[in-house]
Amino acid sequence: MKNLFPHSATTGDVTVRVSVSFLPEQSEPARGRWFWAYHVRIENGGARSVQLVSREWRISDGRGGRHDVKGEGVVGEQPIIEPGGSFDYVSGCPLTTPTGSMEGLYRMVGEDGRTFDAEIPRFPLIAPAVAT
């Protein structure tokens, strides 16, 4: 799993795994635009279901600028993840620099109504060097 998702964090019974890919076909370095896709897998290792209700991202660019993104669910969903189950989604991130990073948290609600924050591991956004 480490090869597919090199970045991971576990909070209680919830593990968040992330892989990231630079997308040169959607990037325009000459115009100051770089784009990455990231694939997230959220795994429930517990005995009760959990629901992802909201997200908070901290996106940093190569100049030290930070952009916070908060919202309900992910990709238009507030998935319920059954015990032993997982939820996968893919999204993207543009930056105005060729490097940066992302990290954050998912607000989760357990079957018992208890809320908790599941950590999203910090992962780098690094565009490959372009030969000149």
The pair of structure tokens assigned to 71 is: 């919202």
Establish if 131 belongs to a structural domain: no
Q: Where are the alpha helices (DSSP H) in 8-123?
A: none
Which contacts of 66-72 are long-range, i.e. CB under 8 A and separated by 24 or more positions?
Answer: 69/104
User: Has residue 42 been placed in a domain?
Assistant: yes
Is 38 a member of any domain?
A: yes
Q: Kindly state whether residue 1 falls inside one of the protein's structural domains.
A: no
Q: What is the pLDDT of residue 132?
A: 41
Which residue range(s) make up the domain with 58? 7-126
Tally Cβ neighbours within 10 Å of residue 102: 23
Tokens found for residue 26: 């959607």
**Inside any domain, residue 54:** yes
pLDDT at 131: 42
pLDDT mean for each 10 residues of the chain (132 residues): 90 97 96 97 98 98 96 96 98 97 98 97 90 42
pLDDT of 129: 78
In whole angstroms, give the CA distance from residue 119 to residue 58. Answer: 12
Asked if the structure places residue 69 within a domain, the reply is: yes
pTM above 0.85, yes or no: yes
Supply the CATH number for residue 70's domain.
Answer: 2.60.40.1470
Q: Say if 88 falls within a structural domain.
A: yes
DSSP H helix total and E strand total for the chain: 0, 9
Strand partners, 67: 59
**Distance linking the first and last C-alpha atoms of the chain:** 36
- Would you say residue 84 lies in a domain? yes
- If one counts the domains in the chain, the total is 1
The whole-angstrom separation of Cα 49 and Cα 82 is 4
